[in-house]
């Protein structure tokens, strides 16, 4: 059971006009507990130094904590610590992949072309996975956040690839059409949980279909890893991206998981200090994982905040968090459905979705709704949620979105519903 934890989050206890904030924009970013804030200030107060370089105590301590953060994240999603690369956020993780595929295609493709020895294709099977040829396909869904769409659009334009899409049905689930998985499919990039509809997608099934065609699977887990137990080993996806700031850690830290055997074969996309092994005036070789993909001074304080965030989440228990959010979602769906003129998008039940609910109120613009709610110190999101293709599929320009996290309560939902009734009166 998760009870009475708002006290751990200083911002949630702040009052404006004598009203405590009801924070319902957790899909955008989450509030931070004292434990995370202390971990960051502890680093700056007690052992602020760069990592890997200094032969002195505070640098060694910072290095130990920075490496520990990789291990903690790896444990959290059940992989090895070399398979966790720290980035800035989910967006950077996905861009890293797209650029790496581009570099691999340009570089390895060129080497293979000039290689007279016929051994390359079979011997470098894994390396060749990253070589994309004109006409190859990237399979996406209509419900992708722009972060898991635009990088692939750009890659497709540069290499002459084709984008294909799984469509969504009336209930906000995408239709897994097996005919879209063909020998031309090279990358399948899907969101685990929709940031608009909350839909939990069947990634395991997608991975099986993709692997039958030797395609690589990239999972955008920005909205799943923070909210439910996720095991990359069980899912068997090749890559997974998520952001620290959506799971209690600070901004400026993101993660990219990749299977070790794949990361070892991939080309880096950022070059400089930290990611090299040996350098002479003309050439350089690459460091071991994960440093090969972490060029320059990394986000040290941010990584340390990730350890504190994961410790906090683990103490509450990811299964409990999922259960708590399901209870909140069931209650919210029930109450919202009773408001006349309110349309809810996405699946009917909390079993099929995470704690994200998008809705519209007939004839009232989402921005107007959000503005009135803000007057009552209730924070929700209104807009297209960086998902314009999904808005087109839903035949709307914008929605209101409420999204829950472990600290939200039934009382928060009661305040929301009461205020929505007020909105209706104001605009009637
Ligand atoms: N993918 C999904 C599903 C998201 O919800 C978000 C952010 O809302 C992102 C990607 C991008 O995350 P970030 O802004 O942390 O890079």
Pair 368, 422 in one domain:
yes
Number of domains in the chain: 2
Q: Which atom of ligand 1 is nearest to the CA of 93?
A: 16
Q: What is the separation of C-alpha 29 from the centre of its chain, rounded to a whole number of angstroms?
A: 11
Pair 275, 369 in one domain:
no
Give the CA distances from residue 194 to residues 85, 187, 292, in Å, rounded to whole numbers and listed in that order: 23, 19, 31
- CATH (domain of 218): 3.40.640.10
**Is 382 part of any domain?**
yes
Pair 107, 166 in one domain:
yes
Pocket of ligand 1, beta carbon within 6 A:
27-28, 89-91, 145, 147-148, 191, 195, 220, 222-223, 243
Ligand 1 center–CA 91 separation, angstroms: 6
Pair 240, 194 in one domain:
yes
Pair 360, 395 in one domain:
yes
Pair 351, 375 in one domain:
yes
Q: Which atom of ligand 1 is nearest to the CA of 193?
A: 3
The domain boundary, picked from 265, 295, 314, lies at: 314
Band the pLDDT of 117: cuts 50, 70, 90: low
The closest residue, in CA terms, to atom 6 on ligand 1 is: 222
pLDDT single digits (tens) 362-393: 999 999 999 999 999 999 999 999 999 999 99
- CATH (domain of 380): 3.90.1150.10
**Is 64 part of any domain?**
yes
Report d(CA 270, CA 234) in Å as an integer: 30
Please say if the pLDDT value at position 112 is more than 90: no
Pair 371, 341 in one domain:
yes
The domain boundary, picked from 314, 348, 363, lies at: 314
Residue to substitute in 386, 388, 401 for testing ligand 1 pocket (most ligand atoms within 8 angstroms of CB): 386
Give the CA distances from residue 66 to residues 16, 42, 61, 188, in Å, rounded to whole numbers and listed in that order: 37, 14, 9, 31
pLDDT single digits (tens) 119-148: 555 566 777 888 999 999 999 999 999 999
**Is 35 part of any domain?**
no
pLDDT single digits (tens) 206-232: 999 999 999 999 999 999 999 999 999
Pair 120, 169 in one domain:
yes
Domain span at 400: 6-25+317-427
Token output for 181: 């998985």
Q: Please give the helix or strand (H or E) that residue 381 lies within, else none.
A: strand 381-383
Pair 335, 283 in one domain:
no
């Amino acid at each position: 059971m998760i009870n009475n934890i708002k006290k751990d989050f200083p911002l949630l206890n702040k009052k404006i006009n004598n009203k405590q904030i009801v924070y319902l924009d957790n899909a955008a970013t989450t509030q931070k507990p004292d434990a995370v804030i202390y971990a960051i200030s502890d680093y700056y107060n007690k052992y602020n130094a760069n990592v890997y370089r200094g032969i002195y105590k505070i640098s060694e301590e910072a290095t130990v904590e920075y490496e520990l953060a990789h291990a903690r994240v790896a444990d959290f999603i059940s992989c090895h610590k070399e398979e966790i690369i720290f980035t800035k956020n989910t967006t950077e993780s996905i861009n890293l992949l797209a650029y790496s595929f581009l570099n691999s295609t340009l570089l390895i493709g060129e080497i293979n072309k000039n290689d007279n020895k016929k051994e390359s294709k079979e011997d470098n099977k894994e390396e060749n996975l990253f070589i994309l040829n004109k006409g190859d396909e990237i399979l996406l869904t209509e419900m992708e956040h722009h972060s898991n769409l635009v990088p692939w659009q750009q890659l497709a334009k540069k290499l002459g690839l084709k984008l294909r899409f799984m469509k969504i049905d009336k209930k906000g689930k995408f239709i897994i059409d097996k005919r879209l998985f063909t020998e031309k499919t090279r990358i399948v990039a899907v969101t685990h949980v929709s940031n608009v509809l909350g839909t939990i997608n069947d990634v395991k099934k997608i991975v099986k279909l993709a692997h039958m065609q030797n395609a690589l699977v990239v999972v955008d887990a920005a909205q799943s890893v923070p909210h439910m137990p996720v095991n990359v080993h069980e899912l068997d996806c090749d890559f997974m991206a998520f952001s620290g700031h959506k799971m209690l850690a600070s901004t400026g830290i993101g993660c990219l998981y990749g299977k070790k055997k794949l990361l070892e074969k991939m080309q880096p996309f950022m070059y400089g200090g930290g990611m090299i092994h040996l350098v002479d005036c003309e050439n350089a070789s690459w460091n071991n994982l994960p440093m090969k993909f972490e060029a320059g001074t990394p986000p040290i304080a941010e990584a340390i905040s990730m350890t504190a965030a994961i410790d906090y989440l683990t103490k509450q228990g990811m299964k409990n968090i999922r259960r708590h959010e399901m209870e909140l979602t069931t209650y919210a769906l029930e109450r919202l459905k009773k408001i006349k003129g309110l349309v809810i998008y996405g699946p009917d039940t909390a079993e099929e979705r995470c704690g994200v609910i998008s809705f519209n109120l007939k004839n009232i613009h989402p921005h107007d709704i959000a503005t009135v709610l803000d007057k009552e110190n209730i924070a929700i999101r209104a807009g297209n949620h960086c998902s314009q293709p999904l808005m087109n599929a839903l035949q709307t320009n914008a929605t209101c979105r409420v999204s829950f996290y472990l600290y939200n309560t039934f009382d928060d939902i009661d305040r929301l519903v009461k205020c929505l009734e007020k909105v209706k009166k104001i605009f009637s």
